[in-house]
Structure 1
Amino acid sequence: MSFKFTLNKIKSNFWILPAMYGFCFFLLALLSMKLDRFLAAHTNLKKLLPSFFFTDKELAQTVLSAISTSLLTMTTITFSSVLVVQTTFLAQYSPRTLQNFNTESKIQHGLGTFIGGYIFALVLLIQLRENELSNTFIVPTFAVVVAFICLGMFVFLIHHVTEWIKVGNLISIIAKETLSSLEKSKRKETHHLQASRESRGLDLEKMKESKIKSKKQGYIQYIELAKLVEFATQNNIIIKLEKFQRNYVDVDTPLLTVWNENDSINKNQILNYIFITPDQEAMENVEFGIQKLVEIALRAIAPGKNDPETAINSIEQLGQILTKIAKENSPFPFYCDEQKNVRVIIEQPDFRDDLYKSFYQIRHYGKADVSVMVSIIKALTLIAETNENNIKEIVWDFSAYILEGIKAVEWLNMDKEFINSHLKKLTKACAKNNGQLIK
């Protein structure tokens, strides 16, 4: 299994990191008791430390008991805060945004610190007992230091959660993660895309064609493209992907078409490079990030919410993402080896489809809100201004669809003037002399 895919699964499990913290603090508690007994056996070293670091058994038990109780209460409060935030995400934004919150490492580190501190104090309390060497202990001082660290983490975590619950910050985080996923995806494909521009012609008629079907059902989360190209090169075959990342597949759904000169290909090994899971996950999945932003915008303009500013913020971030997608857009579906032989074929999605999937629902449900429609026009203007002529043409053609929806609504005169002023900017950005206006 891919290390990257495994790491992503570990991050998405909310309990793994806190459990690791608990185990580490358990070992730390045992080492602390060993150090305490070592100091008790070596009085010359013990005298080098200030006396206020040491306590008797009764005070040590009182301190450790108070710390363990406080840390357990702190952990309970934090878990309650996390549940409140998750409920808010489900009700106000989108169920898909829960993944962003649950995989947030800072929250997991905070909870892990509380759980670890509680285990640390509890183990010390159990291990604390008088011995024939000394009746004073230094471990309560260690527990106090851990308690101070947990207290600081508690304040930080409460602040972090309150920042996370702000919809503006959530939208910004989703947009940054989507842009990062796009950058990572394009970076690993750059070499093969450059080679594909000078790729050698295909002679598939002389090769045998075979289909490879899925053995699982679920969503395609990740495709190890580089290893797929390497495997195709080693076996001198050509692979075409019939399904793409985020597509849902069932058992016996055709996933791949393979052309080879013999039937000795290991089909199961090819399937090992395609990871299918029951749920959608945000792993280098740009479309999933776009879907989250669209859902937040739709929730914002839903009847009873009436929060167009949130929708506008989401549309602005969609504009930035689509601008980056347009710049990275490549018509080459071929991925090649070092000798520029075609090895993997993936049909690249058309940028028109990206535009449509991003805005068609927002256009439908927000068609009567002038601010929402103008924000879509502004996003299209941004895309056209920062890209080449072929993208400008695509944006111009898509703007006719948006304008068709706008014309279906009866606007007041000032609304018409406001919309037309932005339509003129879009016309200029697309390098057109004349554009359509609403009358």
Structure 2
Amino acid sequence: MHSRWLQIRNQFYFIPALYSVISIILAIICFSTDRYLINHTDLFSRIPSYLITDINLAQTLLSTISSSLLTMTTISFSTIMVVLTTYLSEFSPRTMQNFMSDVHTQRILGVFIGGFLFSLVLLLILREERANTVFISPTVAVGFASVCVGFFVFFVHHVGRWIQVSNLIHQITDNTIAAINRYYEDITPNDQDEPWKDWESEELILRTPHLIVNEKNGYLQVIDLDGLVKQAEADNIIIKVEAGLGNYIEKGAVLLQTYGNLPKEHIDVYRKHLQIGEERATVQDIDFGLTKLVEITLRALSSGINDPNTAVSGVRALARVLTVLAKKNLQRSYYNDKSDNLRVILKQRQFNDYLYRCFYQIRQYGGEDLSVLTALLESLQVIAANNGSETKEAIWTFSEYIRSGVKRSELLDLDKQYLNEKWQLLAIHTGKKDQFIPL
């Protein structure tokens, strides 16, 4: 998908604007249908009388519906502001994006705004052209209003669900896992055995690259990898992306390095394959989804909120994401064309980096809470049990890092016994049973 289209599609106003245009077109179609039926009395006579209104009743219905739908839209916007305030104060400022980008929220507002415009446009264009003029458009507007009422009931239920932190954590987790499955390949036995696919990278250090700089400040949201590979193949060059997904890039900073004879007129073409925005997005930036889960967990551990159960839910959600992430080929940085010629080089993080970034702050601020500490150990067990030997080794090394921060002298006997049981299970899952030493 082209990065420009993707940027427009992700805007909050896209679906409401689309529904508004459709509603205006529908109003014009209804008006044209009225005119057609009036001029064809044989068809008009077949319509049930209860679906037909005169000009006075039509204007009354349309004005009532339009004012009511405008009120419902106003209430919906006010409710959205309440949700956003809650997210800002209790969860994380970055979680507001999830509710605003939720397709159900956008569709509900689109239906309300569309219903208002539909009634307003009909009210504007309906005219009494002759005596006893009758209309069926207001009946369609009544049906539209009934649909809007149903959406309003759903919106109340929708907001009630989204205001719950458990549902928010679930949504962020599912979206992040979906992004991982969409943009990362599973590990295969040959991932480490194909050095011929990136042999050109060894020669790049001897060549002088052409630099393509960034033209505006912002976050790198999306990399159109297929587009870059195809364009690089057409120009017979190699591209190295200097920025990582989610990184903030200043204007004038190096965005791409190209090796080969790059046509000057294609510089802007390459820039268009990288989407730069004012805020981070979880479309490809899985680190952003993990950051949201970490912030919700840390906010729950703060003295002002003090909600360890939410922190435990956040830790378990991070474990779900890391379990999927460990199965992916994160080490792949080189992308080839159909002829196996190297075309694009990306910066990638390793699984150890994600593991540390997810849990180091939680270990620091929640290490004295036994429930959070045991949730960490249980989460590491889940990740280790569902992955290979390299992941198990990384998990055990990280558990030793957690262990070094435990204040043994402050633990009571029952606490030590409980933690030792968890650590022993982790040692079994990672194949390190002989290295387990009780606290």
Q: TM-score, normalised by structure 2?
A: 0.91
Residue 78 of structure 1 corresponds to: 76
Structure 2 gaps of 5+ residues are none
Displacement of 1:194: 9.1
Q: 1:264 to 1:433 in 2, by over 3 A?
A: same
2:77 pairs with 1:62: no
Residue 363 of structure 2 corresponds to: 363
Matches of 1:206 and 1:124 in 2, distance apart? 67
Q: 2:95 aligns with which of 89, 94, 97?
A: 97
Residue 328 of structure 1 corresponds to: 328
Is contact 1:8–1:283 with CA below 8 Å preserved after alignment?
no
Is contact 1:209–1:257 with CA below 8 Å preserved after alignment?
no
Q: 2:129 aligns with which of 122, 128, 131?
A: 131
Matches of 1:129 and 1:71 in 2, distance apart? 22
Is contact 1:211–1:254 with CA below 8 Å preserved after alignment?
no
Letter in 2 for 1:39: L
2:253 pairs with 1:253: yes
- Of residues 56-65 and 419-428 in structure 1, the stretch that sits farther from structure 2 once superposed is 56-65
Letter in 1 for 2:152: F
Matches of 2:53 and 2:204 in 1, distance apart? 85
Residue 425 of structure 1 corresponds to: 425
Matches of 2:235 and 2:92 in 1, distance apart? 45
Residue 343 of structure 2 corresponds to: 343
Residue 161 of structure 1 corresponds to: 159
Matches of 2:122 and 2:139 in 1, distance apart? 11
Displacement of 1:13: 2.4
Q: Secondary structure at the match of 2:60?
A: helix
Matches of 1:263 and 1:18 in 2, distance apart? 41
Written as runs of structure 1 = structure 2, the 5 A alignment for 1:8-23 is 8-23=6-21
Displacement of 1:189: 11
Q: Give deviations 1:34-70, integer Å, cap 9, x for gaps.
A: 2222222222222111111122332222222222222
Residue 209 of structure 2 corresponds to: 210
Letter in 1 for 2:25: L
Displacement of 1:332: 4.2
Is contact 1:41–1:133 with CA below 8 Å preserved after alignment?
no
Q: Secondary structure at the match of 2:50?
A: helix
Q: 1:68 to 1:215 in 2, by over 3 A?
A: closer
Q: 1:248 to 1:58 in 2, by over 3 A?
A: closer
Displacement of 1:358: 0.3
Displacement of 1:187: 4.7
Q: 1:381 to 1:258 in 2, by over 3 A?
A: same
- Of residues 405-414 and 78-87 in structure 1, the stretch that sits farther from structure 2 once superposed is 405-414
Displacement of 1:437: 4.6
Q: 1:141 to 1:409 in 2, by over 3 A?
A: farther
Matches of 1:195 and 1:130 in 2, distance apart? 79
Displacement of 1:195: 9.5
Q: Secondary structure at the match of 2:219?
A: strand
Q: Provide the alpha-carbon RMSD of the alignment.
A: 2.6
Matches of 1:324 and 1:23 in 2, distance apart? 41
Matches of 2:61 and 2:133 in 1, distance apart? 15
Q: 1:26 to 1:375 in 2, by over 3 A?
A: same
Q: 1:41 to 1:233 in 2, by over 3 A?
A: closer
Is contact 2:187–2:328 with CA below 8 Å preserved after alignment?
no
Displacement of 1:317: 1.2
Is contact 1:67–1:147 with CA below 8 Å preserved after alignment?
yes
Matches of 1:378 and 1:206 in 2, distance apart? 45
Displacement of 1:343: 2.7
Displacement of 1:370: 0.6
- Of residues 204-213 and 20-29 in structure 1, the stretch that sits farther from structure 2 once superposed is 204-213
Q: Give deviations 1:254-303, integer Å, cap 9, x for gaps.
A: 3334333x576754443333222232122211100000000110111111
Residue 319 of structure 1 corresponds to: 319
Residue 234 of structure 1 corresponds to: 234
Is contact 2:187–2:327 with CA below 8 Å preserved after alignment?
no
Q: 1:215 to 1:69 in 2, by over 3 A?
A: closer
Q: Secondary structure at the match of 1:222?
A: strand
Is contact 1:222–1:245 with CA below 8 Å preserved after alignment?
yes
Is contact 2:240–2:344 with CA below 8 Å preserved after alignment?
yes
Q: Secondary structure at the match of 2:326?
A: helix
Q: Give deviations 1:415-438, integer Å, cap 9, x for gaps.
A: 211111110110001101234455
Letter in 2 for 1:76: T
Residue 309 of structure 1 corresponds to: 309
Matches of 1:251 and 1:94 in 2, distance apart? 28
Q: 1:173 to 1:136 in 2, by over 3 A?
A: same
Letter in 1 for 2:109: L
Q: Secondary structure at the match of 2:381?
A: helix
Q: Secondary structure at the match of 2:245?
A: coil
Matches of 1:284 and 1:378 in 2, distance apart? 28
Displacement of 1:85: 1.0
Matches of 1:433 and 1:91 in 2, distance apart? 44
Displacement of 1:368: 1.2
2:36 pairs with 1:24: no
- Of residues 303-312 and 214-223 in structure 1, the stretch that sits farther from structure 2 once superposed is 214-223
Residue 36 of structure 2 corresponds to: 38
Q: 1:207 to 1:343 in 2, by over 3 A?
A: farther
Matches of 1:206 and 1:96 in 2, distance apart? 39
Is contact 1:168–1:310 with CA below 8 Å preserved after alignment?
yes
Is contact 1:193–1:336 with CA below 8 Å preserved after alignment?
no
Q: 1:165 to 1:215 in 2, by over 3 A?
A: same
Letter in 2 for 1:12: N
Residue 109 of structure 1 corresponds to: 107
Displacement of 1:16: 2.9
Displacement of 1:76: 1.4
Matches of 1:438 and 1:194 in 2, distance apart? 37
